Every structure is written in C-alpha cells, then in structure tokens.
A = this chain, B = another copy of it.
C-alpha cells in the first residue's frame, strides 16, 4: 500500500509500504478515508527532532475492514475516528480520563497513518464509531476530532474555560483556533485570540473570539491586562510550544487562573520563582482525546460545530510532500490528505 515516509528532514516521500495485518487479538485494520499532517510533524521536518526513514501520521478516520478475535464493540464496516494514542480505556489511568497515558498505550505515530490502511491497536478502547456512514462534507470535521479538535478541547478544559470566564489563546494554528471553538462551546464569556494573520483572525472570530490581540510577548501580555481590568485572563491556552509562548501564557493569566498547554514543548524551561509568584495552575501535555471523542463526534454529527474549517488545503495522499511544504512555509494552516 502507499504510505508517507520521512527519509530525512525536509525529505517526505510516498512509498510502497507493507500491508498492515492483525498482530494482536485486540487490533483492527482500517481503510483510511482521510488523514492529515500535524503541526508536530513539522518538528522532524525542520530538523528539530531526529528523523530517519520514519513512517508518518497519527490522525485518521476510516472504515473498519477487519477486527481481531477479542474486539467486541467495533465491527467490520463501522466508520471510526480514533486518537493518536491507542488506549485500552479500562485501566485506572484511562478511567481517570487520561487515555494518552494508558498503561497499555501505543503511539499511532509509530504505526504511521498517512497511508491507505492502518492497524489500530486496542480497537475497542481507541476507536469511536459514528452513528452511520458520514456525509462526505463531515469528513474534515471528523478528521479534526482525531487530534487538533480533541487537543484544543483538552487545552480549554485544562484552562478551565467556562461560563463567566475570560479565555486568552496563544497560538493561531489549528489547535489554537479549535481551542477557541472549544472555549466557546464550554460557555466562555470572552475569548481573546493572539493572532497577526488576517485569515486566521477571521476564523478565530467565526469560532467565537471576541477580541484579537496582534502583539506578542510582554506587549501582548500588557494588552490582555488592559482588557481584563489589570488582572489577566482567568484561562489561557498555550498552543505553540516555545519559551516565548509559554511565558506569554503564564503572564497573561491572573493569580489563581489556569494555563492549559498543548504545544509540544521544545527547549522550554519554566522558571520556578516566576511560577511561584504567578500563582497560576498549569496543566497540559498530550491530550487524552479519547475522553472527548464520543461527545465531539456527536457534536459534529449533529452539525453543531464545524472544526473541519481549519483545513485550508486538501491534497491526495500522493501529494503529501506538497502538503508538508505548505505547512512548513505557512501557506497552509492544516492540510487534509484524501486517501
């Protein structure tokens, strides 16, 4: 089958890869309807993480073609969405809502879902079936649920976005934009988006942003303070993963407020003395998307949210290299690959 392989930084190819097979009795094999390129795929693409002939992709939606003998709830023919961590959804950590840390977790990135078909471990715990076969126009939104929507949602929950709250969002990529959508759905009163790109500002507003701040760093922090009576936001989402973004998030948060961070942290170090004096809550990491999938799939199915709008470039799988280039050069926010 065809699948994406990153040979080296900047060198992405669609190769002939081995067909997946059931390896464990809890596995399923899916034929992908769509997959996509993640912001985190750009780290190795740019040489910020080592890479050598690595299969790529951890986001996926598609139709179940085969299940192992111990799979009980997922059936051949189901249309399914899954998270980027396969999880049993029954261990103590999963039951506490932290499926990304399941004691039996498997990182889908090591399987590589930028491909025609894929093996999904722990199918019953990992996959969520839609109520029926989705209309084609729902595919991008279901695709978004697999990672960027679930991640933005987790960030908003971690930041305790909710009624009466002012939420600020650092990062206007797909995750940040969907953090805005999540904060709105969770009932936030006011949503401040940091963004200096007109198209992303427009989508931010469509998703629920009430204020746009173009300044960054401490100038951006000062603007948030201005907008919140000098106190800072109750809830701040950090969806970038750099030192500047993390400090901007912490400094934009009022004492007792909450920072939800989901940007993959590279070379970030949080100074303990500043964190001590800030008095904020910090929570983040790889999102337990599986926790939110049933709710998110239903919201999409009912057409109450349209997170698929973050995809601003659609390409066939064979043109994946073009998609990586577009995201790297920021001519696209998020690339959907049709299979």
Q: Footprint of B on A, CB under 8 Å?
A: 92-93, 96-98, 100-101, 103, 229-231, 241, 243, 246, 254-256, 261, 264-273, 275-286, 288
A282–B280 Cα distance when bound, in Å, is 8
CA gap between A288 and B279 in the complex, in Å: 10
CB distance from A99 to the nearest CB of B (A): 10
CA distance A147 to B276 in the complex (A): 16
Number of copies of chain A assembled together:
2
Contact check, A268 vs B272: say whether CB atoms are below 8 A apart.
yes
Give A226 Cβ to nearest chain B Cβ, in Å.
15
Kindly report which residue of chain B lies nearest to residue A274, judged by CB atoms. Answer: B265
- Is A281 a contact partner of B279 (Cβ separation < 8 A)? no
Min distance, Cβ A234 to any Cβ of chain B, angstroms: 9
Residue contacts A-B, CB under 8 angstroms, 25 given: A93-B254, A93-B256, A96-B256, A97-B256, A100-B255, A101-B254, A241-B272, A256-B288, A261-B276, A264-B276, A265-B273, A265-B276, A266-B272, A266-B273, A268-B272, A268-B273, A270-B270, A270-B272, A275-B284, A276-B285, A276-B286, A277-B286, A279-B285, A279-B286, A281-B283
Knowing A265-B273, A267-B272, A279-B100, say if A93 contacts B231 (CB, 8 Å): yes
A268 touches B268 (CB 8 A): no
A96 partner residues in chain B, CB cutoff 8 A: 256
Interface contact A282-B279, CB-CB below 8 Å: no
* Residue of B with least CB distance to A277: B285
CB distance from A80 to the nearest CB of B (A): 25
Chain B residue nearest to A267 in the complex (CB): B272
Is A272 a contact of B276 with CB atoms below 8 Å? no
Contacts of A269 in B (CB 8 A): 269-272
A275: which B residues are within 8 A, CB to CB?
265, 270, 282, 284-285
Judge whether A282 and B283 touch: CB under 8 Å.
yes
Tell me the complex Cα distance, A261–B93, Å: 23
Of listed A268, A269, A270, A276, residue having the most chain B CB within 10 A: A276
Which of B100, B255, B270 is in CB contact (< 8 Å) with A98?
B255
A272 in complex: contacting residue of B93, B97, B246, B281, CB < 8 Å: B246
CB of A25, distance to nearest CB on chain B (Å)? 24
Q: What 8 A-B pairs have minimum CB-CB distances, sorted nearest first?
A: A268-B272, A265-B272, A101-B255, A98-B256, A279-B285, A281-B283, A269-B269, A270-B270
Contact, CB under 8 Å: B278 / A285: yes
Q: How far is the CB of A221 from chain B (nearest CB, A)?
A: 16
Q: Please, which residues of chain B bring their CB within 8 A of the CB of A254?
A: 93, 101
In the bound complex, what is the Cα–Cα distance between A284 and B256 (angstroms)? 9
Rounded to whole angstroms, the CA-CA distance of A97 and B286 in the bound complex is: 30
Residues in B whose Cβ lies below 8 Å from that of A246:
272
Report whether A280 and B277 are in contact in the complex, using a CB–CB cutoff of 8 Å. Answer: no
A268 touches B267 (CB 8 A): no
With A98-B255, A268-B272 given, is the CB distance from A281 to B282 under 8 Å? yes
